[in-house]
Amino acid sequence: MPTPPENRELSPYTGWTRAHWESTADRLLVAVRPYASPRGALIDLPGPRPSWSGARSDGLEGWARTFLLAALRIAGSQGEDPHGHLARYAEGLAAGTAEPGTEDPDSWPLTTDTRQAVVESASVALGLRLTRPWLWDRLDDRTRRRVVDWLRPALRPSPVDNNWWLFGLTVAGFLQDAGIETDRAAATVDRSLARIEDWYLGDGWYSDGDNRAFDHYNAWALHFYPVLHAHLAGDRTLLDRYGPRLRRHLDDHVHLFDANGAPLPYGRSLIYRFAAAAAPWLGTLTGHTPLTPGATRRLASGSLRHFLDRGATDTNGLLTLGWHGPYPPLVQEYSGPGSPYWASKGFLGLLLPADHPAWTDPEETLPAERTDTVRPFAPAGLLVQTTAADGLVRLHNHGSNHVHSAPGAEDDPGYARHAYSTRTGPSTGPAPADNHFALLAADGKATTRGPATPAGTGENWAASLHTPRPGVRILSATLAHGRAEVRAHLVLGAPEGTPVRQTGWATTPDGPHAELHPVHGYPAAHEATELPTGETLQGPGTRTLALHGTTTGPAALFVALASLTADPAAAPVAALTNVQVTGHTLHVTWQHGSTPGTTSTGTTTRLDLDALVPEDL
């Protein structure tokens, strides 16, 4: 299948056009065909291990998620199907639902027996909704009854209390369109939307369940399903409610993409890769976006190319379990070989007609390419920092937690770090944690961070509290300007002389240049040491700078400067920032930014850390 020629006049940044998206979709769909079961109902892809739901569930996942890709491809072409994708999935649909729950080689697991099947029911239903004139309406009555029987249990309350509520909503939306059990389906829609309302914190940010879990699920699930449902249903009331939330979220979301196309790797399920482009496409599809059409395509094509150009598919054309190539530490236990194909959501732009400005306008730059930015995402307790000189994106985490995080428990690398970037870490396994502040035991073991409680955000800062040990609290704050970062940690209640360690960015040998410079609380003239932190999703051989100190008194303050830049000849971070410490108050004078003319000279930030500590501490 030939690759279309690049068009650098229309797409000066990526070279890609709609034809590249269609060709990529076709290649991905053709590549999975050899792994189909006898009648095509399961797609059993090769992988290192099955998910915790088992091999048959994984086969359904491979079918459902690639069916969603086929549905977007065919619906976007108004039924044109030159490679015969839809006929294959129609046969698989009939075979999988003929005797579900049995040992037949094509049978699907029941949604009442296998919870993961509830997840996949959403992709099945959405695919059917998108292709209804060309697939559903042409099925015989018996097959339709069997498919409905298989889908119907998904209308029950969600078995998992997070974004899973929206899978039932998606099944209900299809059944409403098809005129099947419309009252029950409407009740499911109402119940599902009421549940996620409990997690909406404003400014476009939802927590993915309890415990302040903020990650890409905001974009590719919690906004994706309600807004797309409202759009497909033509429900103006729902779209008027959820569309503006999507627009507000995209104001932030667009800042999470590197100039090289990479979305920021933080949170879970990162093997879905360019699914991060789904929400920008959805904003354009529904008219609820702050982005221009050219910027939307720039973001989406840049993200897709980023991964395909860096080995996201193997020699057989299959998406692998990883980031660029395979990377086992990134894979959750619920993920199987077919899981990466949730990246299919990133092809949502194919629903836009070929003459839409998103396909015909010239590409435009992204925020990370235009100007230095420091931007708080206040409801989530996050602070994003981008630099135009190198297009790098950094995210400082003062409020996002894994849903199961608890004080003293093992940290999830995707949530517990103080900072993430589009070109570094995080470190995993037994390696020292990057971008982490810890108390050290006598054997050198570092404390975990556990859940972070937001302590406030400002124009260029964010702060949080955590409990590394019983009776000890740490107030952490990050202040940023240009490429410079000030990292402050106020340790409260630790015994006198407790060793502490601050780590910086985990960089690969060919990656960006990192600095970590002591300012206050560390021994005079102390220089950062270098720790080997092994392989990360960016590659092998990472090294991470570290500073060491000891506590003095009941409230010990540690302050350091950090920097991450793609320019190896950049000025030292100490030349960019002057920090004065008075008690527990920081006076930070920012000398300049990384791009001449983009930030002011002599800007000063004052932050009183004591004022951020709750009165009951």
Per-domain residue ranges of the chain? 18-369, 373-612
Q: How far is CA 278 from CA 62, 135, 345, in A?
A: 19, 24, 5
Contact 466, 452 (CB under 8 A): yes
Beta-carbon neighbour count of residue 277 at 10 Å? 29
Contact 266, 420 (CB under 8 A): yes
For residues 66 and 290, give the distance between their C-alpha atoms in angstroms, rounded to a whole number.
Answer: 30
Query: Does domain 373-612 correspond to CATH entry 2.60.40?
Result: no
Beta-carbon neighbour count of residue 548 at 10 Å? 16
For residues 64 and 53, give the distance between their C-alpha atoms in angstroms, rounded to a whole number.
Answer: 15
For residues 304 and 312, give the distance between their C-alpha atoms in angstroms, rounded to a whole number.
Answer: 10
Beta-bridge partner residues of 469: 472
For residues 304 and 296, give the distance between their C-alpha atoms in angstroms, rounded to a whole number.
Answer: 12
CA angle 90, 96, 98 (to 5 degrees): 100
- Two tokens at 569? 């000849």
Beta-carbon neighbour count of residue 601 at 10 Å? 9
Closest by Cα among 378, 376, 377, 379 to 201? 379
Contact 494, 551 (CB under 8 A): yes
Three-state DSSP string of 92-133: HHHHHHHCCCCCCCCCCCCCCCCHHHHHHHHHHHHHHHHCCC
Closest by Cα among 427, 419, 422, 416 to 387? 422
Torsion of CA 244, 246, 247, 252, to 10 degrees: 140
User: What are the φ and ψ backbone dihedral angles of 420, each rounded to 5 degrees?
Assistant: -135, 155
Q: Which pLDDT score is estimated for 114? A: 97
Q: Which pLDDT score is estimated for 595? A: 37
Q: Which pLDDT score is estimated for 231? A: 98
Torsion over CA: 331, 334, 340, 343 (sign): negative
For residues 552 and 550, give the distance between their C-alpha atoms in angstroms, rounded to a whole number.
Answer: 7
| Residue labelled with tokens 């010990």 | 556
Q: What is the DSSP letter of 289?
A: -
| Residue labelled with tokens 């989406």 | 300
In the chain, which residues have pLDDT < 50? Answer: 593-601
For residues 609 and 488, give the distance between their C-alpha atoms in angstroms, rounded to a whole number.
Answer: 9
**E strands along 190-241, which residues?**
200-202, 205-206
Closest by Cα among 156, 225, 174 to 196? 225
Q: Which pLDDT score is estimated for 88? A: 98
Domain 18-369 fold: Glycosyltransferase (1.50.10)
Lateral strand order in the sheet of 437-439: 437-439, 499-507, 539-550, 529-536
- Two tokens at 99? 């005797």
Contact 483, 563 (CB under 8 A): yes
CA 460 to chain centre: 23
Q: Which pLDDT score is estimated for 617? A: 63
* Residue 539, H or E segment: strand 539-550
Amino acid at 341: Y
Closest by Cα among 472, 417, 455, 418 to 609? 455
| Residue labelled with tokens 């000279």 | 601
| Residue labelled with tokens 């103080």 | 418
Q: Which DSSP string corresponds to 249-280?
A: HHHHHGGGB-TTSPBP--SS-GGGGGGGGHHH
User: What predicted TM-score, i.e. pTM, was given to this entire model?
Assistant: 0.96
29: CB partners within 8 A, 6+ apart: 66, 69, 70, 73, 83, 85
Closest by Cα among 116, 53, 66, 64 to 93? 64
Amino acid at 84: G
